Amino acid sequence: MSGDTGILSFGAYIPRKRLQRAAIYSTNAWFAPGLKGLAKGERAVGDWDEDVITMAVEAARDTLEGVDRATVGSLSLASTSLPFVDRLNSGVVKEALNLADGIAALDVTGSQRAGTSALLQALAAAAGGRGPHLCLASEMRKSRPASEAELTTGDAAAGLLVGAGEPVARFLGAHSVTADFVDHYRSAGMTFDYAWESRWVRDEGYMALAGTALQAALRSLAVAPEAIDRLIIPISVRGVAEGLAKQAGVRAEAVEDTLAANVGDAGVAHPLLMLAAALQTARPGEKILLMGFGQGVDVLLFEATDALDKLPPRRGVQGALARRFSDENYTRWLFHRGLLDLELGMRAEADQKQPATTLWRNRKAVLGLVGGRCAKTGVVQFPKTDISVNREERSAHTQEDHPLADRKARVVTFTADSLTYSPNPPSLYGMVDFEGGGRITVEFADVEGVDVEVGREMRMMFRIKAVDESRSFTKYFWKAAPVA
């Protein structure tokens, strides 16, 4: 592979639900009235069937819009809230994307700048001539009720396809600093972060450590501060991004929106999310400076290119922000985060054990939603079997892999079930037909505030099917969501 090294494509995912900060504050005001100043706007919250892995899959699908997935050579997933400690989380993402078994996959964690650090490593590998690398970052952190973090954080994921060729953003260089600045931490076994005093973090961490690194990066990269068209500072604390820009001599109008008002701080994913947002509106020739902060600083410099105009349309950050549902049910969100213990009833007592042998044998169908297409008759079916379901031609051993996850679907039948257990009742499910053939009965997702009817267009989304609480194992499958 030859050409410039940089970002070949980008994508993002923000959950549809936006929990209103006023709803959070109104419940906790009796105990923490001092949080009133943070009770404005909304934060993105994943539904009960979403986590870091499912959000990463959706960001990856957006990133790979118009890209031949067979060209992807490796992928990484950066997060500090990965669902599995000893299972390759990025490996589950790989299966859901139906990528080749021959690619490398890596989980990256341990710091809030894990996303930018993973991006740096991907760019370095791309310069060595390797195939495109799918760099993903996703975050869904828990926060203690009535804390600042509960109001300021948010859930989101972003993706960047990095490689050599015709990048939409050419990589011009980077500068990194590593220092054990403990603004917050979460030790093994802890549920919530422990944060230090905010004024000290602002003065010594953001303005001093990050400010010095930003100025050093401009010098080492030999770029004038006034030449920066877009400055991405993924720090949502009011005034910090503007203060760092002024300190470095970068124009105030170059500072990018931190998305604090309608997403919240998405942790590891936030630098890449803001970069994806910037690239969606960037013009060729613009210089984009990206910062990542966490036990040090990463600073990366990119230049947008003419290839942006050739990139196929995608939802991106703009589309994800537009696809929203205003949520004021704070209690439901606490329950979905495991922070409120409700009486679930006997119908919730079913054993959700996942036999590893069955999952292995059917991983393409379960995780990748790969069905079968009869090479003789063209009939599509799910699941793929040795004998075709065609009543006119019971052909045997003629099935070819037929991925269904990215095909359009329409509702054939549906049911709202209030008797079966669901973490978000009623349970809505039904049968959908795929464009080009094939049908499947699945659960529906993201249906609150949406009228579901026969014939409605649906989009398949990778979600949590169930959680085996006894063995701490998450089961994944695909669900149908209304097309916005």
Considering 255, 280, 308, which residue would you say is the last residue of a domain? 308
- Do 359 and 285 lie in one domain? The reply is no
Average pLDDT of 68-74?
Answer: 95
The 10 Å Cβ neighbour count of residue 62 is 23
Question: Looking at residue 326, what is its pLDDT?
Answer: 97
- Do 355 and 272 lie in one domain? The reply is no
Domain that includes residue 303, residue range? 4-308
- Do 363 and 462 lie in one domain? The reply is yes
Tokens representing 160 are 């960047």
- Do 291 and 363 lie in one domain? The reply is no
| Higher per-residue pLDDT: 90 or 350 | 90
Residue 131 lies in a domain: yes
Cα 421–chain centre separation:
27
The 10 Å Cβ neighbour count of residue 31 is 10
* pLDDT tens digits along 233-246: 999 999 999 999 99
Mean of the per-residue pLDDT values of the chain: 95
Name the CA dihedral angle for 72, 13, 57, 291, rounded to a multiple of 10 degrees: 60
Number of domain units in the chain: 2
Residue 216 lies in a domain: yes
Residue 313 lies in a domain: no
Question: Looking at residue 2, what is its pLDDT?
Answer: 54
Give the model's confidence band at 415: pLDDT under 50 very low, under 70 low, under 90 confident, else very high: very high
**Helix (H/G/I), strand (E/B), else coil: 472:** coil
- Do 142 and 256 lie in one domain? The reply is yes
Residue 446 lies in a domain: yes
CA distance 361 to 373: 19
CATH code for position 465: 2.40.50
- Do 106 and 220 lie in one domain? The reply is yes
Question: Which of these, 172, 150, 75, 153, lies nearest to 112 by C-alpha position?
Answer: 153
CA distance 154 to 115: 16
CA distance 151 to 209: 25
Average pLDDT of 151-177?
Answer: 97
- Do 161 and 242 lie in one domain? The reply is yes
- By the 10 Å C-beta count (0-12 exposed, 13-18 middle, 19+ buried), 241 is classed as buried
Give the model's confidence band at 437: pLDDT under 50 very low, under 70 low, under 90 confident, else very high: very high
Residue 336 lies in a domain: no
Question: Looking at residue 109, what is its pLDDT?
Answer: 97
Residue 255 near residue 246, CB atoms below 8 Å: no
- Do 275 and 365 lie in one domain? The reply is no
Residue 322 lies in a domain: no
CATH code for position 234: 3.40.47.10
Residue 137 near residue 118, CB atoms below 8 Å: yes
Residue 384 lies in a domain: no
- Do 223 and 111 lie in one domain? The reply is yes
* pLDDT tens digits along 375-385: 999 999 999 99
* pLDDT tens digits along 138-149: 999 999 999 999
Question: Looking at residue 1, what is its pLDDT?
Answer: 43
Radius of gyration of the chain (CA): 23
Q: What order of strands is seen across the sheet that includes strand 370-374?
A: 380-381, 370-374, 399-403
Cα 180–chain centre separation:
27
- Do 264 and 361 lie in one domain? The reply is no
**Helix (H/G/I), strand (E/B), else coil: 164:** strand
The 10 Å Cβ neighbour count of residue 338 is 12
Backbone CA torsion sign across 140, 142, 145, 147: negative
pLDDT above 90 (res 449): no
Q: Which residues contact 70 (CB under 8 A, 6 or more apart)?
A: 100
* pLDDT tens digits along 15-50: 999 999 999 999 999 999 999 999 999 999 999 999
- Do 178 and 92 lie in one domain? The reply is yes
Tokens representing 346 are 């006997």
Residue 254 lies in a domain: yes
- Do 263 and 165 lie in one domain? The reply is yes
Is the peptide bond prior to 426 cis by the omega test (within 30 degrees of 0)? yes
